[in-house]
Amino acid sequence: MCGIIGYVGKKQAGSILIDALKRLEYRGYDSAGLALLDRGKIFPLKRVGKVCELERAQRHFRHSGTIGIGHTRWATHGNVSEKNAHPHLSNGSHFAIVHNGIIENYLQIKTFLSEKNYTFYSDTDTEILANLIDYHHHKATHLPFAEIVRKSLLHVEGTYGIAVLGKPFPDEIVVARKSSPLLIGLGDGENIIASDAAAIARYTKRVVYLNDGEIASVRPDHFSVMTADESSVDTVCHELDWEIADVNCDGYPHFMLKEIFEQPTAIENAMRGRFTRDGSSTKFGGLSLTPEALRSIDRLFFCACGTAYHACLVGKYLIEKYARIPVDVEYASEFRYRNVPLQRNTLVFVVSQSGETIDTLAALYEAKRKGYPVMGITNVVGSSIARATDAGIYQHAGFEIGVASTKAFTSQLTIFSMLALLLARRRDMDQFDGQQYVFALKSLPKVVGEVLKLSERIRSIAERYCKRERFLFLGRQAMYPIALEGALKLKEIAYVHAEAFPTAEMKHGPIALVSEETVCIFIATQRELLDKTMSSLQEVRARGGKVVVVAGDGEVEWEVFGDEVIRVPEVHGGINPIISVIPLQFFAYYVGILRGCDVDRPRNLAKSVTVE
């Protein structure tokens, strides 16, 4: 969601901040800004819209400086405007702040500060924190900068990642976090602060991750960390062991299309080194579970949001089918507010592509408070979820810039398919069936490559239906969450109303929506359920609805019954969901661009949701 950057060192800060903000654009935002400390004064610069607008303004900015902070904002409190964009300054411009998160008690603090003659110029919750820091500074001007910020945060309820610049402290930035990621990149005579390693990977590979409740003072050649209760912290320096490519599309018109075509590589990376020697099962070194512990699991519990939630639903179907272990799937945003009964011998998984999803982090902490082992599935090494879980699995899908997840989703599906096999082989699945499953998994990158060849065929279908305003996605069993994902992609990318249902549920209400203007997309790649799917398809046709079928390349003549048919290879049930979702990704992409939408940065959405 919002992005934070800060620099203190020997170089001109403005150009570094702009470059780093560009590398945070993939997270989603609606305005951007920076503030430089130059010759004893703080100078802000803010623009609505893209970072390029800020960059154009910065070329004519008369101020420079070797210390500064920057931000990309995704609006929560207050509309999208320059006055609400970050950074925010305190009265008198003694302090500037950038902030990710939400201050829940900001109205109480605002009332208190108003009584102290502070005035406010924005509609945000962030501005009150700049003035609160100013208030504490004037109460005790002798205190160190970090101590002033610490005292201010004692009054704050909510979530935050902040970076603060202070006119009285010309060579220092103070940062603090609570449920919103922050890290410090270490350089030679310079240090750089960010909410995402993507922003600073070109400047340094040495980083220190802040934990919840920690506050850091960052200077050009030194930094120190303490907790909210004034305890000092022994920090650990991590080496970034992943490369971030230059932010370009490599010849593709959009990142989303590029990432759809990167799926064979992403899937192959998810599987690399994770098969047993006899070729009948999988292994995950990061799970740190003995064979005995795996066999003792009575129930699995998955928590996630959005696209990751759909991946968990697919995982439920696969694990229950092949391993015969009951699986519960819960929206992470609901889990912490419900008294969910978790049985003994329950293993909890939290799933998040970014590893920073705040609702999923909250679910993680709630499960740990209840004493359950919590595993993580995430794509980002060093993310908050990766560091907070007891163990877990990295996806290794590579950097994903498009807000609507594609390759990270199929990477998650691959992990769940492999997990289903692992658990099945610890239970009842024999070696031969395990080898057949492994053979299917190893063939997956090649089969996905075949599906990618359908791109132009799907574009032609999208051209015929891109003006429609009502879409229904229908699938049975493991294809139901694939239908959910297809509908979500169309909503995210093309701003079209789309819903998904289990195919047989059509006649229990949703069929009332079917008319000549309705497009029904059936995911019909399960051979054992074709007759039932055909019956539902006929019900739609009888009411004049348009029918698009994603079908296997078997002998069924779907062309007789569907207006459009997209043929994909018939594959093992453990990988069928992965094959089936790719045409839906293409369809959403092409409908989006045909409707003139910004498919890489859809309106109102963010790549990493770090506010509740």
**Which residues belong to the active site?**
2, 607
Q: What's the order of all strands across the beta sheet hosting 564-568?
A: 497-502, 470-475, 518-524, 546-552, 564-568
- For 407, the enclosing helix (H) or strand (E) is helix 407-425
- Residues 115, 119, 125, 131: what is their CA dihedral angle, to the nearest 10 degrees? -80
Percent helix, strand, coil in the chain (nearest 5)? 40, 25, 40
Distance (Å, rounded) from C-alpha 58 to C-alpha 612? 33
Can you give the three-state secondary structure of 473-537, one letter per residue?
EEECCCHHHHHHHHHHHHHHHHCCEEEEEEHHHHHHCHHHHCCCCEEEEEEECCHHHHHHHHHHH
Distances (CA, A) of 45 to 7, 78, 164, 192, 537: 16, 18, 15, 19, 57
- Listed in sequence order, the residues at least 6 apart from 69 whose beta carbon sits closer than 8 Å to its beta carbon are 4, 5, 6, 7, 17, 34, 35, 87, 96, 97, 98, 163, 164, 165, 173, 193
Bridge partners, residue 545, by sequence:
none
Pairwise CA distance, residues 210 & 199, whole Å: 16
φ/ψ of 15, rounded to 5, equals -70, -35
Among candidate residues 292, 244, 337, the one with its CA nearest the CA of residue 24: 244
Token couple for 33: 């800004």
Which tokens in the block code for residue 103? 């201050």
Task: At 309, list the tokens.
Answer: 């939630």
Task: Enumerate residues 6+ apart whose C-beta is below 8 A from 248.
Answer: none
Q: Phi/psi at 458 (nearest 5 deg)?
A: -70, -35
The 8 Å CB, 24+ separation contacts for 532-539 are: 532/476, 532/503, 532/504, 533/476, 533/503, 534/561, 536/474, 536/503, 536/504, 536/506, 536/507, 537/561, 537/562, 539/506, 539/507, 539/511
Which residue, among 55, 100, 110, has the nearest Cα to 194 in the 3D structure?
Answer: 100
How many Cβ atoms are within 10 Å of 525's Cβ, its own excluded? 30
